[in-house]
Amino acid sequence: APSAPLKPAILERFAREVAKYPEAGKQSAVMACLAIVQQDEGFISMQREREIAEYLGMAPIAVHEVTTFYNMYNQHPVGKFKLNVCTNLPCQLRDGVTALVHLEKKLGIKMGETTADGMFTLQQSECLGACADSPVMLVNDRTMCSFMSNEKLDQLIDGLRGSAKGEAA
C-alpha cells in the first residue's frame, strides 16, 4: 500500500542538505536524503526512492543505484534495532566474532536474520572505524557502542527490550 507523502519536517531536513551544494549539483544530497528517510521509516521503499528522485531532479533508477550500492541502506524493513557487529580482522583479533556468536545465541537468530518479535536485526559488518574499541557494534546506523563484552551485550539487549516494553505500556 502506498504510504503518506513525505512529512514537512522531513522535507525541511532535505532542504538543509540541498542547500550545501550548487544548484547544478543538487543530486549530491541524495545520500543524506536517503539516510534521513531510513532514520524516520526504518528502510527505503521504492515509493520513497521515486519521491527523492523527483525532489532532486534525478532518474528514479539513479537513486536506486545509490540505495543498492551502499551497505548501510536497508532495502527492506528491518527490526526496531539493527545491530551491526564488526568482524573484520582487527576486531576478529579482539573478540568481534565472539560478540557476534554471543548475540546469535542470545537472540536465537543467525546473522542476517530478524527476531520473530521484530525487535532485533543482527548483521555482521566490515570495519566501522572504531577498531581500538573492539568489540564494537553500530546500532541503527547512528550509535556506536564500544568494548562490547558478552556481559555488556546482555545488558544492552535487555535494556533495549525493557525500553520497548516501557514504550508500549
Partner 1 sequence: MSPEQVLQQFQATGVQTCFHGRHIEPQIYAGLDGTNWRLADYEARGGYKALRKILSEGLTPDQVIAEVKASGLRGRGGGGFPTGLKWSFMPRQFPGQKYLVCNSDEGEPGTCKDRDILQFNPHIVIEGMAIAAYAMGISVGYNYIHGEIFQSYDRFEEALEEARAAGYLGDKIMGSTYNFQLHAAHGFGAYICGEETALLESLEGKKGQPRFKPPFPASFGLYGKPTTINNTETFAAVPWIINNGGPAYLECGKPNNGGTKIYSVSGDVELPGNYEVPMGTPFSKLLELCGGVRKGRTLKAVIPGGSSSPVLPASIMMECTMDYDSIAKAGSMLGSGAVIVMDDSRSMVESLRRLSYFYMHESCGQCTPCREGTGWLYRVVDRIHNGQGRASDMDLLNSVADNIQGRTICALGDAAAMPVRAMIKHFRHEFEALIPGYVPKAPVQA
Task: Name the site residues for partner 1 (rule: CB under 8 A).
Answer: 20-22, 24-25, 27-32, 34-35, 56, 58, 62, 65-66, 69-73, 81, 87-94, 125-134, 138-139, 141-148, 152, 155-156, 159-160, 162-164, 166-167
Spatial CB neighbours of 96, under 8 Å, sequence gap ≥ 6 = 85, 86, 87, 88, 134, 135, 136
Q: Is 138 an interacting residue with respect to ligand FES (CB under 6 A)? A: no
Q: Is 127 an interacting residue with respect to ligand FES (CB under 6 A)? A: yes
Please choose which of ligand FES, partner 1, none residue 107 contacts, taking the beta carbon within 5 to 8 angstroms, the exact cut-off set by kind: none
Q: Is 144 an interacting residue with respect to ligand FES (CB under 6 A)? A: no
Of residues 4 and 21, the one with the C-beta less far from partner 1: 21
Give the shortest CB-54-to-partner 1 separation in angstroms: 14
Please choose which of ligand FES, partner 1, none residue 66 contacts, taking the beta carbon within 5 to 8 angstroms, the exact cut-off set by kind: partner 1
Of residues 2 and 71, the one with the C-beta less far from partner 1: 71
Q: Which residue among 136, 137, 148, 156 contacts ligand FES (CB under 6 A)?
A: 136
Amino acid at 57: G
Size of the site for ligand FES (CB under 6 A): 12
Please choose which of partner 1, ligand FES, none residue 15 contacts, taking the beta carbon within 5 to 8 angstroms, the exact cut-off set by kind: none
Contact 157, 108 (CB under 8 A): no
Give the shortest CB-72-to-ligand FES separation in angstroms: 14
The three cell numbers locating residue 47: 515509493
Distance CA 46, CA 23 (A): 25
Instruction: Give the dihedral of Cα atoms 11, 80, 141, 138; nearest 10 deg.
Output: 160
Please report, for the chain, how many H helices and E strands are present, in that order.
7, 4
Instruction: Give the dihedral of Cα atoms 46, 52, 55, 60; nearest 10 deg.
Output: -60
CB atoms within 10 A of CB 26: 16
